[in-house]
Amino acid sequence: MKRFTRLFIRLDETNKTTDKLAALIDYFSAAPPRDAAWAVTYLTGKRPRSPVNAAQVRAWVQSAANIPEWLFTESYDAVGDLAETVSLLLPEPGMGSSLSLSDWIETRLLALAGEADESVKRQTLLAWWAELDRPGRFVLTKLITGAWRVGVSQRLVTRALAETLAVDKDVIAHRLMGSWQPDDSFYAMLSSADTTDTDISKPYPFYLAYSLDQEPRALGDHRQWLVEWKWDGIRGQVIKRQGKVSIWSRGEELVTERFPEIRRAAGRLPDGTVLDGEILAWSHDKDGGVMPFGHLQRRIGRKTVGKKLLEEVPVTFMAYDMLESQGEDIRRLPLDRRRDLLEQLLGGESADQALRLSPVVTANCWQTLDSKRQESRDLHVEGFVLKHRNSPYGVGRRRGDWWKWKVEPYSVDGVLLYAQRGSGRRASLYTDYTFGIWQGDKLVPFAKAYSGLNDEEIREVDRFVRRNTVEKFGPVRSVPPELVMELHFEGIRRSTRHKSGLAVRFPRIARWRRDKSADQADSLSTIIALLPASERD
Amino acid sequence: MSAPALSADDSGLYCAAGDFHIDPWRPVKRAIITHAHGDHARPGSDAYLCAEPGRLPLVLRVGDRVQTLAYGQQLTINDARVSLHPAGHVLGSAQVRVEVGGDVWVVSGDYKRQADPTCDPFEIVSCRVFISESTFGLPVYRWEPSGFVMNELVDWWQNNADAGRPSIVLSYVMGKTQRIMASLASLVDCEGRLFAHGALQKMNEAYRASSVYLPTAPNPLEVGDGYDFSKAIILAPPSVAGTPWMGRFKRGVTARASGWMRVRGRRRRLALDRGFVLSDHADWPGLLCTIFETKAERVVLTHGNSTVLARYLSERGLPAEALTLDRWGEQEEQE
């Protein structure tokens, strides 16, 4: 635990990737494989189920620190991180613990998860906190509550392991995919010369596209590029090996049980097949097709799906790439070749409704493509994905041969109404905003947004909020309606849960419209006009 | 009860019986200044009064229309009796005791309860109404002893020096800088390794002229081209962060010393390599014990988390309220 705590402190103390990488390499070089395996599990966000929930942690710390609930909340708002707030509020710390990280997790945390009696849990956690020094408490509470916010990506962990073990990083990335047990064989599993995997459910690392930040013409001859719709669903991998189907989401969650239609369809694939594609809500009606993302959300949260939901929101797997064919890893083959194999597999009449081949969009020039792209919203897609026909299937996000060419976002000018303090490095600054738009002569809250301003602008808005607070509602402050910001978002739909009657997807601040006053902001009617025709009334 | 001894007007805290202001934020006839930080000592008033050890720093801020009073010495101003008492914040920092018709009010100014080699320690002054600062009025703000923090800072400097990297410490021009310099000198020999940015030199001189011992700390720009700073520690005001001045110290490592460093998010927001929790303000336990030790019947809180502390005290049965003095509303205390 001390070694892991030191790693955490080192990662937290620097903003430089090279220093973080060095800290990780030092850790992996010194830590026993079992500890390292657990460290990777937690740092990449795959922690096991937590033995206690955040509300319990809060309640127990309040009583240990002898402070009322509202004061805990005020403290949390100033700190912006639950584990850190806990470590700062608890009474005087202890000396630290010499137990290893894996002992802490296996003999303590996992055991506590099985404890039914809440008062035992409380006593146990309080005793652990009392035993640890302040950094140790902080790290323990992080293990329990998650959200490291220490600037370490899965990619960086992969690189550090690759350098420590002298194994290619794409190989490490693949071996870290799927489910593996954190145990003494961790390093052996990662550096084994034997490349045949015993785990028949193991997915490949996903290859991701960059957003196109230039004119598509700059990409050269359009015929060099395979153009497909950018589907708005859940990225997934369908695996059929030794008669067994596994469906993975991009978050490396095994979701096979949640999508029985896809599972059934994939059961008919030959063994040794891995497909990359998108899980979509799909209407099989005559005028059917992909349904808006909101429908799919109803399927996401459910472990098991009822008959009614299966009928109302059927799903399909829109396959667009093939990573394994007849048991062979074919990721190094050029895309055209992989596409041929995919078409041989899924083309033709017999295709199952729940397993489809992503169609290729053809056009005679970039300009025609651009005008087709404008149809995206009506088709419930986000634009195009452009893939170079010679490209292999890589690992992670790389520039060059896969691009997202999205449709322009919706844009609306909103007025700042409420502000709340942020978390992490934005702790104690007012960075989370609610914007309003006009409905008659009233401003109604319309969207929450927090990204998009630079640090200087954030400080300026923070000062504005502090100087002009009208009312405080707990952590939220209302301000006079003066600041106008241009907001961008990806989707819009009717919602009964929102005051404006509308819900938007991925709202963010595009820029501060200092040239506009509040009365020049947009009104509800202009936004309703953005809705698909069928939803306007 | 007659009129309150002190009340807020549009220039700051005002004593009607004595016809003077305390730390006014715009020019007035007569200003009593608790200490020479920019948000407390603003130029332009006709006359200034401060504690005797704080004269030179205040003159740097507002010019020479400064009168002084020794700590504890009484002065009658019209119908008010005034005395100044050590606040332990920075050199010459004072609490202002105001007595009007037997009713005693104390204005704390900024204060801390920790040891500081550059100023007199805080002194408890009994009163009926205590107007206290509350910059760090949240229970997450608790300070380690300054000796502990200074040892950490020395270790950090040593590790950087071993790696051949200059150590740059960002600290407030008045108070924090000199406290760090004096504390460093008591722990290690700084000769030839300690430097101070040009903007700190005048204040350092004012401290030395006020008989505070500070080690030598030349301006790093005046030691000649090609000087090797790889084992040096350089103090600089926070405003230099991200400026070309920093470029002079190749592979430099940057830290800040401030009570705000207690919270990681702030340190990370400032993109610092290290934060040392060293404050010239009272922490949460310091505020509470001071407030109770004054035996005040009523407490008024200013600066920072005033509403939080007021609510907490009220819930514990001590009448308390928050008072916004600054025309900017809530502005964050620099330190």
**Can you give the residue ranges of every domain in chain A?**
2-145, 207-406, 410-535
Of the candidate ranges A260-274, A514-528, B12-26, B91-105, the one whose mean pLDDT is the lowest: A514-528
For testing the chain B interface, which of A11, A18, A88 should be mutated: the one with the most B CBs within 10 Å? A88
| Domain A410-535 grouped into CATH 3.40.50.720 | no
Inter-chain CB proximity B263 and A426 less than 8 Å: no
Backbone angles phi, psi at A100, to 5 degrees: -75, 165
Which pLDDT score, from 0 to 100, does residue A299 have? 86
CA angle B211, B184, B108 (to 5 degrees): 60
The Cα of A36 is separated from the nearest Cα of chain B by a number of Å equal to 25
d(Cα A341, Cα A352) in Å, to the nearest integer? Answer: 17
Three-state SS letters, chain B:
CCCCCCEEECCEEEECCCCEEECCCCCCCEEECCCCCCCCCCCCCCEEEEEHHHHHHHHHHHCCCEEEECCCCEEEECCEEEEEEECCCCCCCEEEEEEECCEEEEECCCCCCCCCCCCCCCCCCCCCEEEEECCCCCCCCCCCCHHHHHHHHHHHHHHHHHCCCCEEEECCCCCHHHHHHHHHHHHCCCCCCEEECHHHHHHHHHHHHCCCCCCCCCCHHHCCCCCCCCCCEEEECHHHCCCHHHHHCCCCEEEEECHHHHCHHHHHHCCCCEEECCCCCCCHHHHHHHHHHCCCCEEEEECCCHHHHHHHHHHCCCCEEECCCCCCCCCCCCC
Of A236-250, A284-298, B244-258, least confident by mean pLDDT is A284-298
Provide the residue type at A111 as one letter.
Answer: A
The contacts of residue A516 (CB under 8 Å, 6+ apart) are A413, A484
Number of residues that make up chain A:
537
Cβ atoms of B92 and B52 within 8 Å: the answer is yes
Q: Which of A423, A425, A466 faces B331 most closely, judged by CB atoms?
A: A466
Position B278 scores a pLDDT of 96
- Average the pLDDT over A90-96 and give the result: 86
With an 8 Å Cβ cutoff, are A89 and B139 in contact? yes
Report pLDDT for A537. 62
Contact criterion met (CB below 8 Å) for A380 and A289: yes
Distance CA A124, CA A47 (A): 20
Residue B226 in tokens: 């090609």
**Chain A interface, best mutation among B134, B268, B327, by max A CB count within 10 A:** B268
Does A427 contact B263 at a Cβ distance shorter than 8 Å? yes
Mutation to test the A interface, candidates B25, B136, B140, B287, most A Cβ within 10 Å = B140
Q: Measured between alpha carbons, how far is B93 from B15 in angstroms, rounded to an integer?
A: 20
Delineate the domains of chain B, giving CATH numbers in brackets: 7-140+281-322 (3.60.15.10), 146-276 (3.40.50)
% of chain A surpassing 70 pLDDT: 97
Cβ pair B265:A70 closer than 8 A: no
Supply the pLDDT for residue A174.
Answer: 86
What mean pLDDT value characterizes chain B? 93
Interchain contact, A429 vs B269, CB within 8 Å: yes
Q: Give residue ranges of A with CB < 8 Å to any B CB.
A: 12-15, 65, 67-68, 70-71, 74-75, 78-81, 84-85, 88-89, 423-429, 455, 463, 466-469
Contacts of A494 (CB under 8 A, 6+ apart): A501, A502, A503, A531, A535
- A425 contacts B268? CB cut-off 8 A: yes
Distance from CA of A16 to the nearest CA of B (A): 9
Determine whether the interchain pair A74/B305 forms a contact, defined as Cβ–Cβ distance below 8 Å: yes
Query: Mean pLDDT over residues B303-316, rounded?
Result: 93
What distances in angstroms separate CA A302 from CA A71, A287, A405, B91, one per listed residue? Answer: 36, 27, 32, 65
pLDDT of res. B328: 45
Cα separation, A236 vs A251, whole angstroms: 9
| Among the listed residues A51, A140, A49, A143, the one whose alpha carbon sits nearest the alpha carbon of residue A90 | A140
Residue with tokens 């936004």: A527
Angle between helices A54-65 and A134-145 (to 10 degrees): 150
Report residue B161 CA to chain centroid gap: 30
Residue A81, phi then psi, degrees to nearest 5: -155, 125
Chosen for mutation from A70, A79, A142 (greatest number of chain B CBs closer than 10 Å) is: A79
**Residue A163 pLDDT more than 60?**
yes
Lowest mean pLDDT among A10-14, B62-66, B218-222, B242-246: A10-14
Minimal CA–CA distance to A463: which of B331, B196, B177?
B331
pLDDT at residue B330 tops 60? no
Instruction: Kindly determine whether residue B140 and residue A85, on different chains, have CB atoms separated by under 8 Å.
Output: yes
In chain A, which residue's Cα lies nearest the Cα of B276?
A13
What is the per-residue pLDDT across A47-86, written as a single tens digit (0 to 9) for each? 888 889 999 999 999 999 999 999 999 999 889 889 999 9
Closest to B94 measured CA to CA, from B62, B58, B59, B146 = B58
Rounded to whole angstroms, the Cα distance separating A314 from B251 reads 58
Q: Which of A13, A89, A423 sits opposite B274 (nearest CB)?
A: A13
pLDDT for res A428: 78
Residue B218 has pLDDT above 90, yes or no: yes
Q: How far is B117 from chain A (nearest CA, A)?
A: 26
- Select the highest-mean-pLDDT range: A131-145, A165-179, A194-208, B175-189: B175-189
Nearest Cβ partner of A80 from B142, B265, B305?
B265
Nearest CA in chain B to A19: B273
Cα–Cα distance list, B192 to B176, B212, B227, B248 (Å)? 21, 20, 11, 17
d(CA A81, CA A49): 20
Q: Which chain B residues are Cβ-neighbours of A477 within 8 angstroms?
A: none
Map residue A28 onto helix, strand or coil: helix
Cβ-contact A431, A421 below 8 angstroms = yes
B220-237: b (≥16 Cβ within 10 Å) or e? beeeeeeeebbbbbbbbb
- With CB atoms and an 8 Å threshold, state whether A78 touches B271: no
Subunit contact B263:A67, Cβ cutoff 8 A: no
**Spatial distance between the Cα atoms of B99 and B76, rounded to a whole number of angstroms:** 9
pLDDT at B186 over 80: yes
For chain A, the farthest-separated pair of C-alpha atoms sits apart, in whole angstroms, at 72
CA distance B263 to chain A (A): 6
Q: What is d(CA B143, CA B146) in angstroms, rounded to the nearest whole number? A: 8
- Residue A514: name the closest of A481, A480, A484, A479 by CA: A484
Cβ <8 Å between A88 and B140: yes
Q: Which long-range contacts (CB under 8 A, 24 or more apart) does A344-350 make?
A: A345/A269, A345/A270, A345/A273, A346/A319
A289 pLDDT above the threshold of 80 = yes
Token reading at A531: 């809705």
**What is the pLDDT averaged over residues B101-108?**
97
Mutation target to probe the B interface, by most B beta carbons within 10 A, among A58, A74, A139 is A74
Given a contact cutoff of 8 angstroms between Cβ atoms, the answer to whether A145 and A82 are in contact is yes
Distance CA A154, CA A43 (A): 8
Which amino acid, B203? M
Coil, helix or strand for A446? strand
Q: Please report, for residues A179, B113, B174, B188, the alpha-carbon distance to residue B185 in angstroms, rounded to integers and kept in the order given.
A: 56, 22, 18, 6
Are the Cβ atoms of B269 and A426 closer than 8 angstroms? yes
CATH superfamily of domain region A2-145: DNA ligase, ATP-dependent, N-terminal domain (1.10.3260.10)
Taking 60 as the threshold, does the pLDDT of residue B166 lie above it? Answer: yes
CATH of domain A207-406: 3.30.470.30
Lowest mean pLDDT among A494-508, B73-87, B319-333: B319-333
Residue of A nearest to B263 (CA): A79
Residue pairs spanning A and B at CB distance below 8 A:
77
pLDDT over 80 (residue A92) = yes
Give the sign of the dihedral formed by CA B30, CA B34, CA B40, CA B42. Answer: positive
- Bridging pattern class, strands A396-397 and A207-208: parallel
CA nearest neighbour of B275 among B139, B156, B106: B156
Residue among B75, B136, B85 at smallest CA distance from B107: B85
* B140·A68 Cβ contact <8 A: no
Whole-angstrom distance, CA of residue B142 vs CA of residue B283:
5
Q: Please classify residue A389 by burial: count the beta carbons closer than 10 Å to its beta carbon, then call 0-12 exposed, 13-18 middle and 19+ buried.
A: middle
Given A70, A78, A469, which is nearest B140 (Cβ)? A78
**CATH topology identical between A2-145 and A207-406:** no
Residues 6+ apart with CB under 8 A from A343: A357
Residues of B in contact with A469 (CB under 8 A): 329-330
Task: Match 């850190």 to its residue by tokens.
Answer: A84
Give contacts of B271 with chain A, Cβ < 8 Å: 15
What's the token pair of residue A7?
């790693």
Tell me the shortest Cα–Cα distance from A120 to chain B, in angstroms. 27
